[in-house]
Amino acid sequence: MDDMGLRDKITELLPKTSLFGGVDSEEIDAFAKTLKEKSYSAGENIYEEGGSPGDSYLLLEGDIKLTVSDRRVAKFGPGTVFGVAAPIGIQKQVVTATADTDVVVAVIPKMTFYLLSEENPKLFGKLILNVARDLARAVSGMGEIIHDFILLEEEDHL
């Protein structure tokens, strides 16, 4: 994809993501200019469970599957931002992200959020608040999973 096509695709998809909720078009355009395209072949890992925190990604084309202990836990298509929590939390990756088909991603370098905190604190604040909301939703979802697990354990002991 040429640079203009890449930027157009990114600026089309970013406003549809939860990460960019409440972010205006000028901020999105400025952010899009910092991203680079990268392709992965089907079956290729983008990052691995237990790996060091790295870049984040906006999926432009194809499908990604997420696995934990070699078990699929999610699958998604274009327009999804993924891999954000590990670099922000400076934590190891909790899942493996694998190209389920040939994919094209826009790479969000791991230093982007740090640089934004200094260069554009207003945009940084919006993005971090959106990340916090997404993580809160994920924690809430984990509560349901834990509850279901406890019920299964209790049934096994009856």
| CATH number of the CATH domain containing 38 | 2.60.120.10
Regions in the chain scoring below 50 on pLDDT: none
Q: What is the pTM of this model?
A: 0.83
Count of structural domains within the chain: 1
pLDDT in tens, 86-108: 888 888 999 999 999 999 999 99
HEC letters along 35-88: CEEEEECCCCEEECCCCCCCCEEEEEECCEEEEECCEEEEEECCCCEECCHHHH
pLDDT for 76-85, tens place per residue? 999 999 998 8
Q: Domain limits at 114?
A: 3-156
Rounded-to-integer distance, Cα 122 and Cα 23, Å: 10
